[in-house]
Structure 1
Amino acid sequence: MPAPAHPHSPHLTLANGLRVSLQHAPRLKRCAAVLRVAAGSHDVLLAWPGLAHFLEHLLFLGTERFPTDEGLMAYVQRHGGQVNASTRERTTDFFFELPVATFAGGLERLVDILTHPRLTLEDQLREREVLHAEYVAWAQDAKAQQQVALLEGLAADHPLRGFHAGNRDSLPVERETFQQALRDFHAQFYQSGQMTLSLAGPLPLEELEALAQRFSEQLTSGPLRPQSAPPALMQGQTQRYQHIADDHLHHVVTCNAPREALEFLCTWLNAPAPGGLLAELKTRQLGSALQASVLYHFAGQAVLDIDFTLNNPAGSATQVEAMLHDWLSFFAHSDWAALREEFALLAARQQQTLGALALARHDSEALSEQAVIALKRLLDTLHLPPSGHTWQLPPNNPFLRPPVKEERAGLIRGQTSAHRGLRTFAQDRSRGRREVSALAFSQAVAADSDEGALYLQWQSAPSGLESAVQSLRENARQAGVDVSYECLGSHELVKVVGLQEPIPAVLEVLAQSLSEPHAAPAASPPMIAIRTLLKALPACCTSTMPEPASWAIAHWQGLALGFSAAHEAAIKTAAARLPGQPASLTPVAPPLSGQRIWHEVHTDSTEAALLLFCPAPSQSLADEAAWRLLGHLLQGPFYQRLRVELQIGYAVFSGIRQINGQTGLLLGVQSPSVSLEGIADHLHTFLQQLPTLIDSLDDLGNQALAQQFSAQTLPNTQAAELLWHAHLAGHPSGYLAHLRTYIQTCTREALQLAAQQLNDAAGGWRCVANGPRLPTLWQTAG
């Protein structure tokens, strides 16, 4: 293997042509791998649409060395990681994230599926039905069809206009010519010269490099084969066009600018600050949203979509287009120095906060001088007239910079700056105990990282909380803080999770925002049925529904985790300004005691979708441990049975879900072909087979599951989520260690008892579905 250009260089090309990117991030607790194949849907022969996507699916069906139950997907799920793949126009990605100790095993399985796929006819026939189900859903999905219509302005012979989803008709697996094409595609592209491996995690660079080298030695070697260049995006000199659909106006621009230049432009086009394009649209009551994004980028071709959500597209399209051109003209002639500095801060903060998998997938480049020149050239080619409106560039994001330290009054004579910090902290702690007694600071997450988590829950709060969160979410996200809102019936939850440094300032802005009037929150974009049900599930599990409320009668409580002493003091100061009265809230879900409750929720999709939530029979750690072990054991078999063998749906999942401190097993299915009654029958049959499954296992998986709750492997954000629910359930601060012990010592007899309790609905069952209650077993929610 050739030596890198620099001993700490993160980019290598190995002897067999495999390109490698290595990222050492000591702050992480997990490792991730992304394997990119330089081949995608547009590289397939026109005779076989969907072949690339089909092959991606087939690779997960096991190999001779690692059968399905020992393959990559089962292995990653067993160790509490995440795994997936994605086929795009000119690339196919395979990616997973695992605890450090199990990472090498994931790489072994990944390289094996890439080089030794099984590709049996039986597997292909079965998996083709899965792709066909996805195709049916895609054909019925309004958003997907809008995307197809949007691209109709491009040249007819460009592959972006083609069909690439794959279905029964386009994947004739029974024909030898198709089989030869499948083998040829795999042989041509699934080899070292066509691949890039990205590894990220806390391991030293030397260890990551050794893993990459071991991976490369097992790959099929081959040369880099340049992908064929696509035809022109548009005919003649035309570069752009408009597309109007429903309440959306799309301004589509084709160009050859670098991706980082277009991302720079999109960042400032999308900025909601006063004086910008979106703010002016809202002021003139022409529109409510603007989203500019890069739809496609390959071989010097790019498609930029500027999507306006308008109040009256047909009547205002011309006016909005003129405003867009005027803003672009203003932007083209502005001084970008401050914006470039801000953009660099955004990129640096993103690099600082990405998890292992996101870091491994992150391939954006810094904004170079060449990219700036290319963007200016692009704007020049639009031949825009001089701007006639007084626009403003967006101000700096206040959360991206350290807060300005203010001098505090009331210091003792002779006190030094060092004393000032200690005295102020003591004063803040004293004030915090009086004013925000319901805000607890947990030491269960060590304060030795840059991350912290703050949970705030209100009861009887007036409307405006969700809008306040939406108004600051983007600036907070750019600064490395995720702010989210969740409705829990009469309770509302705000989570503030991410870098410690900006969180006090984010909390200050939230507190100030809540004292101001807010418009109704922006409508959520359409979601597939199963996602709509997941969003509705928490409210279905609460004992009370929203009532008329005001800040005068509102109460709130909170939990902060992982903060240093200085940030703890700042959070207490900001929390003292939150509206409502601090109080200890105990949002207890109503006991179901064997009841099976059915909640009907409307969804946009007509496909049958169903969630089954089965709470543990009690809040005890013994019951929670047994329930978690059950969820751990059935995840693989549940997916194998319903998704692979029965093929009843493409959205099939199971796992443990916690809602307001209540732990439950969650099963979900969305199917284009099976009714709600059919799905419910399949779930019931599967759960009845759990005792047999448990008896058949040599290893219950206690140790593998317990390891996922170790402080060495559990990311702080996941630990914080677990501890928040433990706080609501009244568990002690040592919850994680106790839970780990209970999981390690859970016996086969205890697991069989839990399976029986699950089937008897000892803790109750809740079904959330997009259809009316089934006549047997179930009763309608009150």
Structure 2
Amino acid sequence: MMQRTLTLASGLRCHLYHQPDAREAAALMQVGAGSLHEPDRWPGLAHLLEHLLFCDSARFSGSQRLMPWVQQQGGEVNATTRLSRSAWFFQLPAPALEGGVTRLADMLLAPKLTPDVIRQECAVIDAEYQLLQSHSEALSEAALLHPLGERFRRFRAGSRAAFGDNVTDLQRALRRFHQTRFTAPAMQLWLSGPQSLDELESLAAAFSGLPGDSVPALPVVPQQPDDNAITLLELPGDNAFWLTLLTPYSHNFSDSVTLLRSYWLDEAEGGLLHQLRGEKLCDTLQVSWLWQDTRHALLALRFSAPAISSAQAWRIEQRVWQHLQAVQHTTLRQQQHYLQLAQRDFRAETPLRQLRLRAAAEAPAAHLPSDLASAILQLTQARRMRLLTRQPLSNALTCITQGFTLRCSRGAFSADVPAAAVRWQFPPRAIRADATGSGGTAAALPQALPVEPAETLLLRPACYQPLADRAGMAYQRRLRPLLAELRHLGGRGVWQQQQGIWQLLLDIPADAAVAWQLLPAITAQLSAADEAGDPPEPAAIVIRQLLQTLPSQLLHPASARRWQAAWCGHDRHLNHYAAQSLARLRRQATPSASPPLRRGITPVACQGRDQALLLFIPLTAPDDISLAALQALGLFLAPRFFQRLRVEQQTGYVVTARYERCADVDGLLFALQSPDISWVRLLIHCRRFLLDMQTVLSQSDDETLRAWQQTLQERCQPHANRQVAQDLLRREAGGPCLTPEAVAALTLPHMLQLFRQLVRQRRRWRVLINRP
């Protein structure tokens, strides 16, 4: 990868990244203004403007706007408003980058901000505010920021009541905020793609029309919190202990924190997470910046588990400080090792995720920070704020902050007994092979040529036989230390859900001794007797809770567990050894028959007050051309569904339609969530939309079809060994795959015929609704 940083004549700072092998490109524009910069009269104005900028601009309107246009390319687009920063970003096939950048520039430079659109987005903002009333992360963040003073307690989500009925005044405030804050010196652009640096620089010129005025600084000075206090917050679900540190901020300090995050999140034996799990203090740890400006920052460490007591929270914090002291004494070789891990993890991210990490100052530095010890000292001396979520909470008082009503109490945070010392361990460690790789008669695994420089093993349950979430979580707990060890030895191991299927992905490093050492141990964990794992923590948003249950709601549980495995690489010796190591697992030898799918409407218990509907329409014809037609239908429906139900009919905050593969079943997915429309009405909206779209599709032309085919041809080219192995196993199971030949053979009559068939066969639809 090559990179270039430059400043345009207007003062816009541009960061360009040439990734020659990338098939996707990404762009991100960040503005140094957020909720803290809003006029007092207009709380939520920055959030409202974030939404409005996606609407019509001077050159682009309707389906040519950035959001529907990117959706038609099969890409992703979004935005976010934080306390001191806002950002708009997208990722899409690389050839379309110029069109995306042109639209991004026009919407940021020349938004129309018409009264009708303002009224429409005020209603959407209001629906989002209702959603946040039960959003654990939003409520926890509000409670954490409350001690920092009045500026941090202001309402910032936005609502219909806060914006009022005078659209003219609101329009004037929006235009003034846009004119004063969206100036080149206050903005930064990131571009990434296979285009040359000169080509990316040429694309950045689309933003040369930004005004060059300097933005007056608005420093926000937080109050100093009480170091010895802890806030207890009543929230349902798993408990969370937030340890937040108010620190001075600089780029050098941020680089050190990014390196420390690599230490904190290490799951190998002898690390912080392994120690906390061994003491049953927490299950997971997340590290994030809650706030950053030019002088201050708020760093949050969030520890979660089904239950955390105040005493356990105290013990967690003691372990954090002990671990930091040990990190301070690690050698340069060990620090370099952890930096390389962070860099390798960063390179594995998507282009858009990389840009978002860069913009948030969370990307690893190219070299070791020179002041790690100083950063650790700053952290240990930082003012501390603590939050512990519980349910229920006795003696709670009502606290109103940021427009949310919280039930919380405050108390002292101390204990008399110090935590015992721990012997921390920091890799790298030497490899000791426990096997030779010889012997055994197991047949080799199906093998395909790699598209990445790695030898990759994919292991998953047999087709149409997904693991239950409890079993998947139990395997995750067993495999964590082994996969972390593989990571330290130069490989990579991931046990996670992909498309509703729990699966294991192993990238074996060049030193085959790693395989000899770890493959038998990994297999032993997968073949051990079942144990009951904890279910995954429910998602914060109702529609995501329904999505979590969709795999189990599509297929009945399998009576016996069977496995599939594939090898993607050149090394046949490693392939044979992997087959021998997996011999104790019961592997599927013949294609799996497509099982009967569960149908009808099912209510699912969910946390949250909104109404939500998830509609899944499975593919009826399992052949390659029908799969290509189904994916083209996803491209056709996605922007139109959003336009109809989100923009025109304003059904709610969540409105999405797309092609989806879930638990090996291909289909069309429609998701809606509304604060005030019943699921019955949402389903009626979906049915009417599908009926109307048959006419629209019949009027499509060959040029539109060619655009869909171009997008699907890009999807046909796998960019990761994981995709190659997945397609190989899918072929072996008799399932359809997206191929260049199938895409080229696609016709509009075939798409229309398939669409009509899917719409008519309503008895095969799977509908999930939420039950509070």
TM-score (norm 2): 0.83
Say if 2:214 is the partner of 1:228. no
C-alpha distance in 2, partners of 1:382/1:534? 40
Change (3 A) 1:59 1:322: closer
Match of 2:404 in 1: none
C-alpha distance in 2, partners of 1:756/1:126? 32
User: Unaligned regions of 5+ residues in structure 2, if any?
Assistant: 385-413
CA drift at 1:21:
0.8
Amino acid across the alignment from 2:760: D
CA drift at 1:523:
4.0
Match of 2:447 among 441, 446, 449: 441
Match of 2:494 in 1: 483
Amino acid across the alignment from 1:760: R
Deviates more, 1:297-306 or 1:470-479: 470-479
Match of 1:765 in 2: 765
Q: Is the 8 A contact 1:241 1:253 kept in 2?
A: no
CA drift at 1:91:
1.3
Match of 1:494 among 503, 516, 531: 503
CA drift at 1:485:
3.6
CA drift at 1:316:
1.7
Match of 1:352 in 2: 347
Match of 2:551 in 1: 538
Aligned 1:740-759 pairs, distance under 5 A: 740-743=743-746, 746-747=747-748, 749-759=749-759
CA drift at 1:378:
3.9
CA drift at 1:165:
0.5
Residues 200-254 of structure 1: CA deviation (Å, up to 9, x unaligned): 1222222222222x3233x32313425311023416xx55642333533333322
CA drift at 1:525:
2.5
C-alpha distance in 2, partners of 1:647/1:129? 8
Deviates more, 1:707-716 or 1:185-194: 707-716
Change (3 A) 1:659 1:588: farther
Match of 1:390 in 2: 421
Match of 2:389 in 1: none
Say if 2:220 is the partner of 1:216. no
CA drift at 1:750:
2.8
Match of 1:139 in 2: 133
Amino acid across the alignment from 2:60: F
Amino acid across the alignment from 2:322: W
C-alpha distance in 2, partners of 1:22/1:724? 36
Deviates more, 1:338-347 or 1:133-142: 338-347
Q: Is the 8 A contact 1:507 1:571 kept in 2?
A: no
Change (3 A) 1:502 1:14: farther
Match of 1:58 among 52, 59, 62: 52
Residues 489-521 of structure 1: CA deviation (Å, up to 9, x unaligned): 9xx641417787699747555324325567643
CA drift at 1:65:
1.7
- Three-state SS of the structure 2 residue aligned to 1:220 is coil
Change (3 A) 1:66 1:114: same
Match of 1:583 in 2: 588
Aligned 1:506-655 pairs, distance under 5 A: 509-515=521-527, 520-527=532-539, 528-542=541-555, 544-547=556-559, 554-561=561-568, 563=569, 565-566=570-571, 569-578=573-582, 579-591=584-596, 597-655=600-658
- Three-state SS of the structure 2 residue aligned to 1:362 is helix
Change (3 A) 1:259 1:729: same
Amino acid across the alignment from 1:468: Y
CA drift at 1:98:
1.9
Report percent identity of matched pairs: 27
C-alpha distance in 2, partners of 1:502/1:671? 53
CA drift at 1:654:
0.8
C-alpha distance in 2, partners of 1:372/1:356? 32
CA drift at 1:259:
2.3
Match of 2:191 among 186, 199, 207: 199
- Three-state SS of the structure 2 residue aligned to 1:723 is helix
Match of 1:103 in 2: 97
Say if 2:138 is the partner of 1:155. no
Deviates more, 1:250-259 or 1:477-486: 477-486
CA drift at 1:668:
1.1
Match of 2:63 in 1: 69
CA drift at 1:362:
2.8
C-alpha distance in 2, partners of 1:324/1:729? 48
Match of 1:710 in 2: 713
Q: Is the 8 A contact 1:619 1:729 kept in 2?
A: no
- Three-state SS of the structure 2 residue aligned to 1:674 is coil
- Three-state SS of the structure 1 residue aligned to 2:60 is coil
Change (3 A) 1:408 1:209: same
TM-score (norm 1): 0.82
Deviates more, 1:273-282 or 1:343-352: 273-282
C-alpha distance in 2, partners of 1:35/1:187? 16
Match of 2:410 in 1: none
Residues 408-451 of structure 1: CA deviation (Å, up to 9, x unaligned): 69xxxxxxxxxxxxxxxxx89xx6xx5145x32234xx535558
Change (3 A) 1:380 1:668: closer
Match of 1:300 in 2: 295
C-alpha distance in 2, partners of 1:666/1:600? 17
C-alpha distance in 1, partners of 2:606/2:100? 37
Deviates more, 1:458-467 or 1:669-678: 458-467
- Three-state SS of the structure 2 residue aligned to 1:658 is strand
User: Unaligned regions of 5+ residues in structure 1, if any?
Assistant: 1-6, 410-426, 773-782
Change (3 A) 1:589 1:517: closer
- Three-state SS of the structure 2 residue aligned to 1:331 is helix
Q: Is the 8 A contact 1:24 1:204 kept in 2?
A: yes
Query: What's the Cα RMSD here?
Result: 3.7
Amino acid across the alignment from 1:156: G
CA drift at 1:18:
1.1
Amino acid across the alignment from 1:81: G
Amino acid across the alignment from 2:177: F
CA drift at 1:51:
0.7
CA drift at 1:146:
2.6
Q: Is the 8 A contact 1:326 1:389 kept in 2?
A: no
Q: Is the 8 A contact 2:473 2:535 kept in 1?
A: no
- Three-state SS of the structure 2 residue aligned to 1:619 is coil
CA drift at 1:162:
2.2
C-alpha distance in 2, partners of 1:454/1:32? 28
Match of 2:395 in 1: none
Q: Is the 8 A contact 1:32 1:96 kept in 2?
A: yes
C-alpha distance in 2, partners of 1:47/1:86? 22
Q: Is the 8 A contact 1:661 1:727 kept in 2?
A: no
CA drift at 1:680:
0.9
Q: Is the 8 A contact 1:653 1:668 kept in 2?
A: yes
Aligned 1:383-462 pairs, distance under 5 A: 389-396=420-427, 434-436=441-443, 439-443=445-449, 446-447=450-451, 449=453, 454-458=458-462
Q: Is the 8 A contact 1:39 1:227 kept in 2?
A: no
Q: Is the 8 A contact 1:76 1:106 kept in 2?
A: yes
Q: Is the 8 A contact 1:233 1:301 kept in 2?
A: no
CA drift at 1:660:
4.7
Match of 2:159 among 154, 167, 175: 167
CA drift at 1:39:
1.2
- Three-state SS of the structure 2 residue aligned to 1:691 is helix
Q: Is the 8 A contact 1:455 1:496 kept in 2?
A: yes
C-alpha distance in 2, partners of 1:240/1:23? 45
Match of 1:779 in 2: none
CA drift at 1:34:
1.0
Amino acid across the alignment from 2:525: S
Change (3 A) 1:484 1:685: farther
Match of 2:391 in 1: none
C-alpha distance in 2, partners of 1:487/1:183? 43
C-alpha distance in 1, partners of 2:57/2:227? 47
